[in-house]
Amino acid sequence: MTRRARWTDPKRELWLAWYATVAFYSLYAVVFFLVTRTQPPGKPWYTPEQVAGWFAGRHTGLLVGFALIFVLGGLSATALALITYSIRRMSVSRAFAYSYLILYAIAAVPGFLFICVAMTVGTMRPGRDPAVLRWLYDLGFLSFSGTMGVFLLGSLIWMTAILLDRNGVFPKWFAYLNLCNALTEVVVAPSWLFHGGVLAWNGTIAWWINVVVFGIYTGTFIHLLRQVILREDFGTGPLPAAPRRDSAHRVLEEVMAS
Amino acid sequence: MTTTHTGAGAGIAAASPTTTRHVPGQPDMWFFVVFESLIFTSYFCVYLFNRARHETAFLQGQSHLVLWLGVLDTVVLLTSSWAVARSIQHARAGHHEAATRAALLTAACGVVFLALKIVEWTRLIHMGKTFTSGAFFPYYFFLTGIHCVHLLIGFVVLGLLLKQLSDPRRRSQETVETCATYWHTVDFFWVLIFALLYVVR
Amino acid sequence: MHRTTGEQVIFWTLPAVAVVWLAAFFVFPGFLPPMSPTWSPARVAAFYQDHTSRVRYSMILFNWFCVALIPILMLIVERMRHMAHRTPIMRYCVIGVAGAAPIAFLTSTVFWMVAAFRPDRAPALTQLYNDLAWITFTCGIPFLAAICVFLALSIYLDQQDRPVFGRWVAHFNVLVAVALVPAGFAGLTLTGAFAWNGLLSFWVKNVAIAVWIVVMGVVLGRATARQDEGAEVRA
């Protein structure tokens, strides 16, 4: 009974998108931290020879890892679609939802395309001039962490929408967490100025603390999106509380919804 | 979702007791305060750790700061906090004009602080001490800069506060108190930054 | 009374764009046959010196029209409105990737044109721009593949008596997505089927895209016509 009910569940497209989101972020973390080892980032003060060594040491990891992102990177759109949908569910103008949609659609380009291309090109020819390699290294890391505008404004838009929302789609404290995430984009700005130290692209402040905040933010919104899907009543008024977990209640709801 | 426990709307001066609420303003704003405090604490730890490793260089940099300017900054912000607290008191008692005046004083103090900061930064830059020079000044400009960003956000928050006070139909004591909480946080961070950068030598 | 929605106007840009892209494809001297990743910097530099004009003009054409498929993609999104979906989430997914897809194409045209801008540059630098262009062009397929996957998924979920697109369109899109996958691995090798000039990364990928444009064009045209008919009958 439950298996059939789930297949015709009107929320199945939302759940598909949510699971795809979880898959994408998991893949992203594994590729960047473990396979390519581009996070934590390489050191900005490396000489061209050290950069050549950095590329050589990660040759296979970079190529394979970023090939996976080249193939599967489009999954990032599912997170974006869910968030856009959740903003649309709010009582605020759809302009908020569509602005967010566009901003984060563009974000994929600095968000992974540039670094994938720069690092792939960097490592594919082992004999390349180290000075050129360092140019690619800079391009990769700076475009990746240093492209701030889309995430800054996108977070502020989401924050504003939540604060003005009367449907209670997200808790207000999450609006403030969006502000914290937006501020990480301000904190990373000095990485364009420093070749070393805590404010460089690999620095304690500009990278480590920022990534902790970003990680908390991402984990939180993935969890909250799940709550939104559970609570969704396909109406336009305030979003009801999450359904109780007991199975009898769940079955009754599914019957009523189908 | 935002419920007001004290009297909502104009005229209800004698509010019901606030026993049902544990913190002033939205509890969510306190989440922000705690989270931002943790982040700032981590920045301060990084600062202190690095300072301990290069004490002479930091002392050298700090010697270029003018202590009394820092003191003045602190006094101005403390005044602004006092003003916003008065504003909340007036609002709670239903004296919305007095509350508005106090809020405007808060904003004025904020502007004075901003002006003082700009003066100080310009002075340092003319002396050749920029964001990227030396061991100390990256931290100085970063901490005062990120604080200033919080201050600028504070102006937006004050604007919201003033709007709340001016419009009797949309007034919400909780929102007003939430705004004040944010402003106090801005002041609080400054006091810590002042202590760390100007005083600890 | 037939309401002028303008969709027919958008639709008929598709064959025009296809002609332009095909023309640019043939004019660019580096596609037929595709340049090899194994060329020395000197040979790459010589290529740009010998074929400067053809590179520049073809890439200008591509740069003008690389985004021209966006309105067509939006027409598809409009057709998706009539699918038996409970939420607009699949449309948002498609819109999300439709925005990013042309940027990969656009960036590669920029790199090719920069390479051709000063053909007497140091050969190692020309080779760099050439590499950047080819890798972006070949490997920059995540958004295209995602469009196919989201479309296929949307069609599978469109369970009604008269679905907007036939089920075979979904199978076709899955096939195209699979055909695009090898191109993502083009950075791994300078020779062979996976290299950017190889069978899988160049021929299969580009033919798949061309076939997708043709097939989806026909399918879209028919779906749009059905839409208009329905509207006329109702009016």
Give A223 to chain C, closest Cα distance, Å.
Answer: 18
The answer to whether position B108 is within a domain reads yes
The answer to whether position C12 is within a domain reads yes
Chain A residue with minimum CA distance to C41? A128
Chain B residue with minimum CA distance to A174? B28
The amino acid at B163: K
Chain B residue numbers touching A179 (CB-CB < 8 A) = 32, 153
The answer to whether position B58 is within a domain reads no
Are the C-beta atoms of A133 and A122 separated by less than 8 Å? yes
Asked if the Cβ–Cβ distance from A105 to C95 is below 8 Å, we say: yes
Chain C residue with minimum CA distance to A79? C93
Domains identified in chain B, total number: 1
Distance separating alpha carbons of residues B11 and A95, to the nearest angstrom = 37
Chain C residue numbers touching A135 (CB-CB < 8 A) = 128
The answer to whether position B111 is within a domain reads yes
Among A6, A62, A88, A113, the residue to mutate for chain C (most C Cβ within 10 A): A113
Chain C residue numbers touching A120 (CB-CB < 8 A) = 135, 139, 187
Q: What pLDDT, on the 0 to 100 scale, is given for residue C111?
A: 95
In the predicted model, is pLDDT for residue B22 greater than 90? no
The answer to whether position C27 is within a domain reads yes
Asked if the Cβ–Cβ distance from C96 to A88 is below 8 Å, we say: no
For residue B14, name the pLDDT band (cuts at 50, 70, 90).
Answer: very low
Interchain contact A/C (3 or more Cβ pairs less than 8 Å): yes
Instruction: Report the residue from B1, B32, B132 with minimal CB separation from A176.
Output: B32
Q: What pLDDT, on the 0 to 100 scale, is given for residue B169?
A: 72
The answer to whether position C112 is within a domain reads yes
Distance separating alpha carbons of residues C35 and C49, to the nearest angstrom = 14
Chain B residue numbers touching A198 (CB-CB < 8 A) = 46, 50, 138-139
Q: What pLDDT, on the 0 to 100 scale, is given for residue B134?
A: 87
Average pLDDT of chain B is: 86
Give B50 to chain A, closest Cα distance, Å.
Answer: 9
Asked if the Cβ–Cβ distance from C92 to A69 is below 8 Å, we say: no
B87 touches A: beta carbon within 8 Å: no
Asked if the Cβ–Cβ distance from C92 to A81 is below 8 Å, we say: yes
Question: What is the per-residue pLDDT across A183-206, written as a single tens digit (0 to 9) for each?
Answer: 999 999 999 999 999 999 999 999
Chain B residue with minimum CA distance to A190? B142
Closest by alpha carbon to A15, among A199, A182, A180, A225?
A225
For residue A242, name the pLDDT band (cuts at 50, 70, 90).
Answer: confident
B122 touches A: beta carbon within 8 Å: no
pTM score over 0.95: no
The answer to whether position B154 is within a domain reads yes
The answer to whether position C213 is within a domain reads yes
Secondary structure (DSSP) of A148-200: -HHHHHHHHHHHHHHHH-SS-SS-HHHHHHHHHHHHHHHHTGGGGT-SSSTTS
Among A162, A170, A204, the residue to mutate for chain B (most B Cβ within 10 A): A204
Q: Which run of H or of E encompasses A114?
A: helix A114-124
Question: What is the per-residue pLDDT across B50-70, written as a single tens digit (0 to 9) for each?
Answer: 999 999 999 989 999 989 999
Distance separating alpha carbons of residues A63 and C148, to the nearest angstrom = 24
Instruction: Report the residue from A72, A74, A132 with minimal CB separation from C124.
Output: A132
Average pLDDT over residues A18-38: 95
Chain B residue numbers touching A175 (CB-CB < 8 A) = 28
Q: What pLDDT, on the 0 to 100 scale, is given for residue C229?
A: 74
User: CA neighbours within 13 Å on the CB side: how many for A138?
Assistant: 15
In the predicted model, is pLDDT for residue A176 greater than 90? yes
Q: What pLDDT, on the 0 to 100 scale, is given for residue A5?
A: 44
How many other CB atoms are found less than 10 A from the CB of residue B63?
9
Chain C residue numbers touching A129 (CB-CB < 8 A) = 124
Domains identified in chain C, total number: 1
C51 three-state secondary structure: coil
In the predicted model, is pLDDT for residue A61 greater than 50? yes
Are the C-beta atoms of B2 and B174 separated by less than 8 Å? yes
One pLDDT digit (tens) per residue for chain C, 235 residues: 456 788 888 888 899 999 999 999 999 999 989 999 999 999 999 999 999 999 999 999 898 888 888 999 999 999 999 998 989 999 999 999 998 888 889 999 999 999 999 999 999 999 999 999 999 999 999 999 999 999 999 999 998 888 899 999 999 999 999 999 999 999 999 999 999 999 999 999 999 999 999 999 999 999 888 877 776 666 5
Instruction: Report the residue from C90, C95, C145 with minimal CB separation from A13.
Output: C90
The answer to whether position C1 is within a domain reads no
Instruction: Tell me what percent of the residues of chain A surpass a pLDDT of 70.
Output: 92
Asked if the Cβ–Cβ distance from B28 to A187 is below 8 Å, we say: no
Cα separation values, A175 from A150, B34, C88, Å: 17, 14, 24
Distance separating alpha carbons of residues C65 and C24, to the nearest angstrom = 10
Asked if the Cβ–Cβ distance from B1 to A176 is below 8 Å, we say: no
What residues make up the domain containing B167?
A: 67-199
Q: Which DSSP category does A42 fall into?
A: P
The answer to whether position B35 is within a domain reads no
Looking up residue B132, the CATH number of its domain turns out to be: 1.20.120.80
Q: What pLDDT, on the 0 to 100 scale, is given for residue C231?
A: 65
Chain B residue with minimum CA distance to A213? B39
Cα separation values, B76 from B40, B69, B192, C43, Å: 21, 11, 15, 69
Secondary structure (DSSP) of C164-219: SS-HHHHHHHHHHHHHHGGGGGGGG-SSSTTSTTSIIIIIIHHHHHHHHHHHHHHH
The answer to whether position B59 is within a domain reads no
Instruction: Report the residue from C88, C89, C184 with minimal CB separation from A71.
Output: C184
Instruction: Report the residue from C37, C128, C142 with minimal CB separation from A73.
Output: C142
What residues make up the domain containing C111?
A: 7-227
Among A191, A199, A207, the residue to mutate for chain B (most B Cβ within 10 A): A199
The answer to whether position B45 is within a domain reads no
Chain B residue numbers touching A172 (CB-CB < 8 A) = 1-2, 26, 28-29
Q: What pLDDT, on the 0 to 100 scale, is given for residue A258?
A: 61
